[in-house]
Amino acid sequence: MLLLVKGVRTLVELGLTDTPPDRVGFVAGLAILSIVAALTLLAGGRWGWLLAVGVLGWELAAELGLWWLGSPDYVALALLALCAILLTTPEMRAAHTGQSRA
């Protein structure tokens, strides 16, 4: 759900703000990927889980990078960390992929 909200929010923000043209494609792509990941995760299956974990990992790395550079978004960090921990528990992983060992 977080991914879905984040993806939609990013797309809306992209329309409302002046994002540099060279970043529009990347940001929009990531937003769309987030939405796709959220939807495929809800549908179940290993690819949904893989995509969602991949996008979460990317988002986490990006947020940590921003924190390192002095522009932290602690709310996003906390929510992403919570989602990542929940999504990578052995139970959750087994439910989506059939593999239990992280």
Partner 1 sequence: MTATKASATASRPRIDAADIDLLRAFEPVVKYTRGESFLPMDVGIYLESAVRMRSDGRGRHVVLGAQGEMSEVTLTDNATDGAATRDFLTVAGTGADDDVATLFQRESKQAVGFHSHGGRLARVGYASRLIDAMFAISLLARGRVPGSLARRAVLRYRSLPAERSSIHPYYARVVRTATWTALQYWFFYAFNDWRSGFHGANDHEADWEQIFVYLDTDADGRAVPVWAAYAQHDYHGRDLRRRWDDREQLDLEGDHPVVYAGAGSHASYFRPGEYLAEQPVALPSLIQRVVSGISHVIRGRGGGEDPGVSIAFVDFARGDGASIGPGAERSWTPVIMDESQPWVPGYSGLWGMSVEDPFQGEDAPAGPMFNRNRSVRMSWSDPISFAELDLEPPPSHAAALLRGREEAVERRQTDVAASIPALERELAASGAEDGASSGDPNRTPSRMADRERLRTELTALQREREENELRLADLRRRREAADEGRQPQPQAHLRRIPVPSAPGADRTGRALEAWAAVSIGLMLLILVGVLLLAPRFGLGIAVGVIGLFLLIESILRGGVMGLLATWVRLLAVVAAVVVFVNYWELGIIMAAIAAGIFILRENVGELLDTAPDG
Binding residues for partner 1, rule: CB under 8 A, are 46, 50, 53-54, 56-57, 60-61, 63-64, 67, 72, 74, 77-78, 80-82, 84-85, 87-91, 93, 97, 99-102
Minimum CB distance to partner 1, residue 48 (Å)? 12
CB closer to partner 1 out of 39 and 92: 92
CB closer to partner 1 out of 14 and 67: 67
SS3 of the chain: CHHHHHHHHHHHHHHHCCCCHHHHHHHHHHHHHHHHHHHHHHHCCHHHHHHHHHHHHHHHHHHHHHHHCCCCCHHHHHHHHHHHHHHCCHHHHHHHHCCCCC
CB closer to partner 1 out of 31 and 93: 93
Minimum CB distance to partner 1, residue 28 (Å)? 23
CB closer to partner 1 out of 38 and 80: 80
Termini Cα distance of the chain? 23
